[in-house]
């Protein structure tokens, strides 16, 4: 297996993405290590908000939310998951597992921002982030979740099954075009190219192809036992928990309602289904999402 590094030239002159680079070395397991890239904007002593991306995006997804959150007084931290964005990328699909992604993200969190933080999570950012909330609830001050869930088996939707099969076997796996199709608003050619930037060839897409296969939506899959245990802490999480889901996302459907009904801190919160909002909600409704984080943080006493 090779650990691939990104070519900086592919990330030159990205639209609205002029954030300073930050790096940390992660123990990947089996004797491998890799560098994780992350955004860290705002005063170091400001209340931290963690912005977790999903599949197959990267921290570029948060370029429109970060300025709003900075203006509100946050320190904004957005990692590129291993296998995505500017971070290093193992080229073996089988090397990626749910537990390893949790370990890699936890290493970053422990080293970079040990203080209690707000969390915004979407897609796999929620499968990872909500697991962490359930396992270590005291480390989170509030949560805003969008187009995500913490699955524990069951029956997957036809839309998800089609996506999982496409990611596994389609010879054409163009990341920028996938993002274009999964938003309710039009991306510019420059934005589409930015989503393609981390993935110059097939080997670099191993992490992106692996993620859909790891979602524990069917009984017996890895991650079900850990997520079931994490749900005990997540359901009891009594700090502000807000769901803002996209009306035009065919994959997550009514999962926001399930979260809001099961999690203690979601009671009485102004949950919303956002119109003109696809799966990658950060592209379609960034201001509303950022305002939701500000609302939850104020309710938690962070701001």
Task: Assess contact for 153 and 216: CB atoms under 8 A.
Answer: yes
Count of CB atoms situated within 10 Å of the CB of 113: 18
Contacts of 298 (CB under 8 A, 6+ apart): none
- pLDDT for the residue numbered 250: 87
Identify the three-state secondary structure at position 216: coil
Q: How far apart are the C-alpha atoms of 203 and 180, rounded to whole Å?
A: 22
Task: Please count the residues of the chain.
Answer: 303
Which pLDDT value is given to residue 154?
Answer: 87
pLDDT tens, N- to C-terminus, the chain (303 residues): 999 999 999 999 999 999 999 999 999 999 999 999 999 999 999 999 999 999 999 999 999 999 999 999 999 999 999 999 999 999 999 999 999 999 999 999 999 998 999 999 999 999 999 999 999 999 999 999 999 999 999 888 888 888 899 999 889 899 999 999 999 999 999 999 999 999 999 999 999 999 999 999 988 899 999 999 999 999 999 999 999 999 999 888 789 999 999 999 999 999 999 999 999 999 999 999 999 999 999 999 999
Can you give the C-alpha Rg of the chain in angstroms?
18
User: Please, which residues have CB within 8 angstroms of residue 252's CB and are 6 or more apart in sequence?
Assistant: 147, 148, 149, 245, 246, 279
Pair of tokens at residue 292: 């939701």
Provide φ and ψ at 266, rounded to 5°: -85, -15
Token look-up 């399930």 returns 258
Would you state the pLDDT for residue 35?
98
Q: Give the pLDDT confidence score for residue 251 in this predicted structure.
A: 84
Cβ–Cβ < 8 Å for 41, 70: yes
Please check whether residue 276 is in contact with residue 284, taking contact to mean a CB–CB distance below 8 angstroms: yes
Question: Looking up tokens 């199709």, which residue turns up?
Answer: 181
- Cα–Cα distance for residue pair 241/139, rounded to 1 Å: 14
* Full DSSP string of 275-297: SS--SSHHHH-HHHHHHHHHHHH
Strand runs labelled E in the chain:
3-4, 22-29, 32-41, 48-52, 75-79, 89-90, 117-122, 140-146, 241-246, 272-274
Q: CA-CA distance, 113 to 90, in Å (whole number)?
A: 25
As given in the structure block, the two tokens for residue 3 are 């650990």
Contact present, 179 and 195 (Cβ < 8 Å)? yes
Give how far the C-alpha of residue 38 lies from the chain's centroid of Cα atoms, to the nearest Å: 13
Is the CB of residue 220 less than 8 Å from the CB of residue 19?
Answer: no
List active site positions.
Answer: 123, 249, 279
Among positive and negative, which fits the CA dihedral 132, 236, 121, 43? negative
Nearest CA among 43, 115, 37 for reference residue 78: 37
């Amino acid at each position: 297996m090779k650990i691939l590094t990104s070519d900086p030239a592919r990330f030159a002159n990205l639209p609205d993405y002029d954030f300073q680079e930050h790096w940390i070395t992660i123990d990947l397991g089996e004797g491998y290590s890799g560098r994780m890239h992350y955004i860290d904007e705002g005063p170091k002593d400001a209340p931290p908000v963690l912005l977790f991306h999903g599949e197959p995006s990267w921290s570029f997804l948060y370029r429109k939310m970060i300025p709003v959150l900075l203006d509100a007084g946050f320190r904004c931290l957005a990692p590129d998951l291993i296998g995505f964005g500017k971070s290093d990328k193992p080229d073996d699909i089988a090397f990626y597992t749910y537990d390893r992604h949790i370990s890699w993200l936890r290493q970053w969190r422990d080293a970079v921002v040990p203080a209690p933080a707000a969390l915004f999570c979407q897609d796999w950012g929620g499968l990872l982030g909500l697991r962490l909330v359930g396992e270590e609830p005291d480390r989170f001050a509030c949560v805003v979740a969008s187009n995500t869930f913490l699955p524990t088996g069951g029956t997957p939707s036809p839309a998800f099954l089609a996506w999982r099969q496409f990611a596994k076997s389609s010879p054409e796996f163009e990341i920028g075009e996938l993002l274009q199709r999964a938003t309710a608003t039009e991306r510019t050619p420059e934005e589409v190219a930015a989503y393609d930037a981390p993935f110059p060839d097939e080997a670099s897409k191993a992490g992106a192809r692996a993620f859909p296969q790891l979602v524990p939506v069917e009984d017996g899959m890895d991650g079900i036992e850990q997520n079931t245990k994490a749900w005990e802490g997540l359901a009891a999480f009594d700090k502000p928990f807000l769901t803002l889901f996209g009306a035009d996302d065919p994959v997550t459907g009514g999962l926001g309602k399930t979260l809001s009904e099961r999690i203690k801190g979601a009671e009485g919160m102004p949950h919303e289904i956002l119109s003109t909002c696809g799966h990658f909600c950060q592209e379609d409704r960034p201001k509303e999402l950022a305002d939701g984080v500000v609302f939850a943080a104020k309710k938690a006493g962070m701001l």
